[in-house]
Amino acid sequence: MNLPSHILKILGKKSDEVVPDTKSNCFWATKYFFEPNSLPPTKLNGIEILKFVAENFVQIEEPQENDVFVIWSSSDTSLSPDKVDIQYLSTYPEGFPFGLVVEHSGIFLSDRMVFQKASPKDEDAFEVISQGQAFSSYQKLSWFRITYHRKKI
C-alpha cells in the first residue's frame, strides 16, 4: 500500500495529536488526503465535503485506488433515488432532497482497504481498515448508497 507521506504522519493518531486542541471527522480526513495544506484538522459538514468532491472529482461507477467514497442514507426511503448524483446535489442551496444525508467518506486504497476517520469522536484515530469494516455499520441502514469519485486531471 502506497500512502502519501502526509497521511503516514497522521496514521494512528487522533486529531489533537496531529495539532493540539483540534477535532476532526471523516470529511476532513478525506479532504486532507488530497490537500495536505488543509491543516489544522477541523470538522467539515456534509455540504462542505459535497462541494469539495463536486469541484475536484468526477463521479464514477467502479472505484480504484485513491478514489473517494461517499456513503449516503435517507430518512425517506419511499422517495429515495436509485442513484445519487453528487454534481446535481451540489447545486442545492441548502439541504438535500429525498431526505438524503451524507453519512461518511474516505479513500479507497489497494487490497480492499480504505483510509478514514471512523467518526468525529475525540478518541477515534485516522486509520487504514478493510472496506468491509468501514462499510459494515452502514449496511444495516434501511436505505444507503455509496458513490465513488475520481480526482479530475
CATH number of the domain that residue 139 is part of: 3.90.1720
Q: Note if the pTM is more than 0.95.
A: no
Q: Which residue has the cell 480492499?
A: 112
Cα–Cα distance for residue pair 60/74, rounded to 1 Å: 21
Cα–Cα distance for residue pair 16/19, rounded to 1 Å: 5
Cα–Cα distance for residue pair 125/10, rounded to 1 Å: 8
Give mean pLDDT in consecutive 10-residue pieces for the chain, a chain of 153 residues: 93 96 97 96 93 95 96 76 75 72 94 95 96 93 91 93
Total structural domains within the chain: 1
Domain with 125, as residue range(s), is: 5-151
User: CA 11, 17, 19: angle at the middle one, nearest 5?
Assistant: 105
